[in-house]
């Protein structure tokens, strides 16, 4: 699995939208001061792919940035020559209002729903 782009909104250290473009890079280093958001980028990738976090896998809602009502993570990645996009949202007050969507950008195949997306990603990876 090779990440291509990562877009976060309301996720831990990123209350406003931020996008990281990995396109064309073979090696990436994330540098910054303590609290700058380095671990948040890795947690966002883990959340997008597995709906889990190294920070606190028990309660993903704790990944929502302080003061934000919701979070959104979108990861575009390549695996075995196929381009995929996974998009997950979560709301602070209503955990059932989240959205989980996976799309194969090459074939148009789409999967919706948390468990269905989890299962499809596990099968793909």
* CATH number of the 2-124 domain: 3.40.50.300
Residue 94 confidence class, pLDDT cut points 50, 70, 90:
confident
For residue 57, pLDDT over 80 is answered with no
Q: To 10 degrees, the CA torsion angle through 124, 10, 90, 31? A: 30
The model's pLDDT over 16-53, given as tens digits with 9 standing for 90+, comes to 999 999 999 988 888 989 888 888 899 999 999 999 88
More confident residue, 5 or 52: 5
Please determine, for residue 68, whether its predicted confidence score (pLDDT) is greater than 80. Answer: yes
55: pLDDT strictly greater than 70 = no
- This prediction's pTM: 0.91
**95 CB contacts (<8 Å, ≥6 apart)?**
61
Proportion of the chain above pLDDT 90, given as a percent: 64
- pLDDT, average across residues 100-125: 97
The residues spanned by each domain of the chain are 2-124
pLDDT given at position 109? 98
Closest C-alpha to 99, from 76, 73, 67: 73
What is the rounded average pLDDT for all residues in the chain? 91
């Amino acid at each position: 699995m090779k990440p291509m782009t990562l877009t976060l909104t309301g996720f831990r250290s990123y209350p406003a939208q931020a996008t990281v473009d990995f396109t064309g890079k073979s090696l990436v280093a994330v540098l910054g001061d303590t609290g700058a958001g380095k671990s948040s980028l890795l947690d966002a990738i883990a959340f997008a792919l597995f709906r889990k976090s190294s920070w606190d896998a028990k309660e993903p809602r704790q990944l929502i940035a302080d003061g934000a009502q919701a979070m959104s993570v979108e990861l575009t990645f390549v695996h075995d020559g196929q381009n995929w996009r996974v998009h997950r949202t979560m709301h602070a007050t209503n955990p059932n209002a989240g959205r989980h969507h996976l799309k194969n950008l090459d074939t148009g195949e789409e999967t919706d729903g948390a468990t269905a997306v989890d299962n499809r990603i596990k099968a793909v990876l």
